[in-house]
């Protein structure tokens, strides 16, 4: 195989996707992967589940159980699914709904299910303190206090998050609201609006994907060489629409995706983790860290087929460079036809709230070579019985993160949608200026966030803040705070 500089293979992504990722990046290699399965199977999405209504509540019944999933025809791989053989349904709900989630645990070991990105009481969060015993059903109830957007849910069991998500314990929550519904955007699920959970997996000779970590996996997070879209390899999406919306979830354990199109066409980001941006942002490429979501508009008016690609990075990109470029999904428009104009404005983002409370500092560090337990925040690993601090209810705080490790860390904070104040003293890029719950902190970077803690207090039960590389989280790069 001939190694080509990335600038030959993918000039726009080299400039736009890697730019600023790290100045230390080794020359990137272009290594097209051999197909894992025969390409060209039709793109499929998990079923849309709108729940059922009961006493004014939207109720979702979710059963988490072992599955056998065919990633390759006629090869059954052991998995975990949520009412499916791998991953779970796309839950559809409206902002303001009262939700009740009935989560049944049939996996034979303790688990939790965390509602990633939602503002809710700590008791309903689904973090490590809301353990569901084998055979039990957990039924939190809460108000859906989000803007329209793409959220997700996944396992969060203490020290088992990586294993559970790797096996398939994750799903998507699609939230709609009136503000979004009034905009001229594609929103017909399965026609011009598609949800993609991106993951990568490693399979053994028997077609299984054991959660067997080697030294590198412990340091950098589990990564695979097979790209999955909703648990499927190399799908083809045929569409009739001249403009489509892709809701993309990075559901990987430890892989960063630098998304771009093979023909380097510009696409537009319209939403970040917590909902719509102020205006569509033209992007030649977009990085999604583990845990992050983005919604993108893709113009298909030329009628030409195009390949969505992902340049994949591990946390150690600063030391090792990228691990390759993967074909993710081919999009085939059935015809050329004019695309509608993009809306000039999307949402009115509220002004950054003024700080009323503490300035807190978080130092991300590692010792040794990232052996188990060596990832720390403020010098400490996670202790399930230690609450690191309490935030007064109603406070707006500034949390400043500094990364002294040579690795990338996507930091996720439960309960809140926050705003990025600055990266190394500079204002955030437009696509990072909206609502966020997960933020990439590069080596040697200092990132300041503004967060408001409203509505829910609990003197006992905490929320989590942690690295969303699940192997870093499980190794202790996590802390807990209460809102009181
Ligand atoms: Cu990390």
CATH number, position 167: 2.60.40.420
State in Å: Cα 207 to ligand 1 middle. 29
Number of domains in the chain: 3
State in Å: Cα 1 to ligand 1 middle. 32
Last residue of a domain, one of 148, 177, 206: 177
State in Å: Cα 71 to ligand 1 middle. 28
Do 444 and 436 touch, CB atoms closer than 8 A?
no
State in Å: Cα 413 to ligand 1 middle. 13
State in Å: Cα 383 to ligand 1 middle. 17
State in Å: Cα 22 to ligand 1 middle. 15
The overall average pLDDT reported for the chain is 91
390 has pLDDT over 90 = yes
- Residue 27, number of CB atoms within 10 A of its CB: 11
State in Å: Cα 199 to ligand 1 middle. 17
- Residue 265, number of CB atoms within 10 A of its CB: 15
Share of the chain above pLDDT 90, in %: 85
Strand 359-366 with 48-49, pairing: unpaired
pLDDT for the residue 304: 97
State in Å: Cα 303 to ligand 1 middle. 41
* Neighbouring-strand partners of residue 246: 194, 296
State in Å: Cα 254 to ligand 1 middle. 8
Q: How far apart, in whole angstroms, are the C-alpha atoms of residue 285 and residue 301?
A: 19
One domain, residues 14 and 81? no
The pLDDT tens digits for 87-120 are 999 999 999 999 999 999 999 999 999 999 999 9
One domain, residues 129 and 188? no
> Who has greater pLDDT, 358 or 3?
358
Q: How far apart, in whole angstroms, are the C-alpha atoms of residue 467 and residue 477?
A: 6
Q: How far apart, in whole angstroms, are the C-alpha atoms of residue 302 and residue 442?
A: 37
pTM of the model: 0.92
One domain, residues 188 and 329? yes
Q: Which domain range does residue 416 map to?
A: 359-483
State in Å: Cα 66 to ligand 1 middle. 28
Name the CA dihedral angle for 175, 180, 184, 188, rounded to a multiple of 10 degrees.
10
Q: How far apart, in whole angstroms, are the C-alpha atoms of residue 425 and residue 437?
A: 20
One domain, residues 477 and 363? yes
State in Å: Cα 473 to ligand 1 middle. 7
Do 456 and 415 touch, CB atoms closer than 8 A?
yes
**Where is average pLDDT lowest: 7-16, 45-54, 256-265, 451-460?**
7-16
User: Which residue, 49, 339, 345, is CA-closest to 179?
Assistant: 345
User: Which residue, 45, 52, 130, 118, is CA-closest to 86?
Assistant: 45
State in Å: Cα 180 to ligand 1 middle. 33
71 has pLDDT over 60 = yes
State in Å: Cα 275 to ligand 1 middle. 24
397 has pLDDT over 70 = yes
pLDDT range class, residue 216, cuts 50, 70, 90: confident
pLDDT for the residue 17: 38
The pLDDT tens digits for 306-346 are 999 999 989 987 666 667 899 999 999 999 999 999 999 99
> Who has greater pLDDT, 52 or 9?
52
One domain, residues 72 and 22? no
8 has pLDDT over 90 = no
One domain, residues 57 and 86? yes
State in Å: Cα 425 to ligand 1 middle. 22
One domain, residues 132 and 232? no
Work out the angle at residue 306's Cα, subtended by the Cα atoms of residues 302 and 307, and round it to the nearest 5 degrees.
165
433 found inside a domain: yes
Do 300 and 237 touch, CB atoms closer than 8 A?
no
Last residue of a domain, one of 117, 148, 177: 177
30 has pLDDT over 70 = no
One domain, residues 17 and 48? no
Last residue of a domain, one of 177, 195, 228: 177
350 found inside a domain: no
State in Å: Cα 302 to ligand 1 middle. 41
State in Å: Cα 408 to ligand 1 middle. 6
Burial 92-117 (b: 16+ CB within 10 A, else e): bbebebebbbebbbebeeebbbbbbb
Instruction: State the average pLDDT over residues 149-155.
Output: 98
One domain, residues 18 and 66? no
State in Å: Cα 290 to ligand 1 middle. 10
State in Å: Cα 474 to ligand 1 middle. 10
Q: How far apart, in whole angstroms, are the C-alpha atoms of residue 53 and residue 368?
A: 53
430 found inside a domain: yes
One domain, residues 222 and 277? yes
Residue found under tokens 């569901």: 132
Do 43 and 87 touch, CB atoms closer than 8 A?
no
State in Å: Cα 469 to ligand 1 middle. 5
State in Å: Cα 410 to ligand 1 middle. 6
341 found inside a domain: no
- Residue 385, number of CB atoms within 10 A of its CB: 5
389 found inside a domain: yes
349 found inside a domain: no
State in Å: Cα 219 to ligand 1 middle. 9
State in Å: Cα 409 to ligand 1 middle. 4
State in Å: Cα 216 to ligand 1 middle. 13
- The DSSP 8-state label assigned to residue 129 in this structure reads T
One domain, residues 388 and 472? yes
- The DSSP 8-state label assigned to residue 35 in this structure reads P
One domain, residues 229 and 329? yes
For 18, residues 6+ apart whose C-beta sits below 8 A from its C-beta are 6, 25, 28, 258, 311, 322
301 found inside a domain: yes
Q: How far apart, in whole angstroms, are the C-alpha atoms of residue 269 and residue 16?
A: 14
pLDDT for the residue 319: 64
pLDDT range class, residue 457, cuts 50, 70, 90: very high
State in Å: Cα 362 to ligand 1 middle. 13
339 found inside a domain: no
């Amino acid at each position: 195989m001939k190694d080509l500089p990335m600038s030959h293979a993918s000039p726009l992504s080299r400039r736009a996707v890697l730019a600023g990722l790290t100045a230390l990046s080794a020359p990137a290699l272009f290594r097209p992967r051999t197909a894992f399965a025969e390409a060209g199977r039709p793109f499929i999405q998990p079923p849309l589940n709108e729940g059922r209504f009961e006493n004014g509540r939207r109720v979702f019944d979710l059963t988490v159980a072992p599955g056998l999933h065919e990633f390759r025809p006629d090869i059954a791989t052991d998995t975990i699914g949520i009412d499916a053989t791998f991953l779970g349904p796309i839950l559809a709900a409206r902002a303001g709904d009262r939700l009740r989630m009935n989560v049944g645990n049939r996996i034979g070991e303790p688990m939790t299910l965390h509602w990633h990105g939602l503002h809710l009481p700590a008791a309903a969060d689904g973090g490590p303190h809301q353990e569901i015993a084998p055979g039990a059903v957990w039924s939190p109830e809460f108000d859906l206090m989000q803007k329209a957007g793409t959220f997700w849910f996944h396992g969060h069991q203490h020290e088992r998050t990586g294993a559970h998500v790797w096996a398939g314990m994750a799903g998507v929550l699609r939230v709609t609201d009136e503000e979004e519904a009034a905009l001229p955007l594609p929103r017909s699920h399965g026609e011009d609006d598609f949800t993609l959970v991106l993951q990568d997996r490693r399979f053994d000779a028997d077609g299984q994907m054991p959660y067997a970590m080697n030294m590198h996996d412990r340091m950098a997070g589990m990564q695979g060489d097979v790209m999955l879209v909703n648990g499927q390899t190399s799908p083809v999406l045929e569409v009739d629409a001249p403009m489509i919306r892709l809701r993309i979830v990075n559901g990987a354990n430890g892989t960063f995706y630098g998304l771009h199109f093979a023909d380097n066409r510009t696409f537009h980001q319209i939403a970040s983790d917590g909902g719509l941006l102020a205006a569509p942002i033209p992007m030649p490429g977009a990085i999604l860290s583990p845990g992050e979501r983005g919604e993108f508009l893709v113009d298909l008016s030329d009628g030409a087929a195009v390949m969505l690609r992902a340049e994949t990075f591990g946390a150690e990109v600063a030391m090792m460079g990228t691990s390759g470029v993967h074909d993710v999904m081919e999009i085939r428009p059935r015809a050329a036809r004019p695309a509608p104009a993009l809306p000039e404005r999307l949402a009115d983002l509220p002004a950054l709230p003024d700080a009323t409370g503490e300035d807190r500092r978080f130092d991300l560090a590692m010792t040794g070579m990232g052996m188990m337990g060596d990832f720390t925040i403020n010098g400490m690993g996670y202790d399930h019985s230690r609450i690191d601090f309490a935030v007064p209810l109603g406070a707006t705080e500034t949390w400043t993160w500094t990364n002294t490790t040579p690795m990338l860390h996507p930091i996720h904070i439960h309960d809140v949608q926050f705003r990025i104040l600055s990266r190394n003293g500079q204002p955030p890029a437009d696509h990072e200026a909206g609502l966020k719950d997960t933020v990439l902190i590069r080596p040697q970077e200092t990132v300041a966030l503004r967060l408001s803690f409203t509505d829910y207090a609990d003197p006992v039960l905490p929320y989590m803040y942690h690295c969303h590389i699940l192997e870093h989280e499980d190794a202790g790069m996590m802390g807990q705070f209460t809102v009181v």
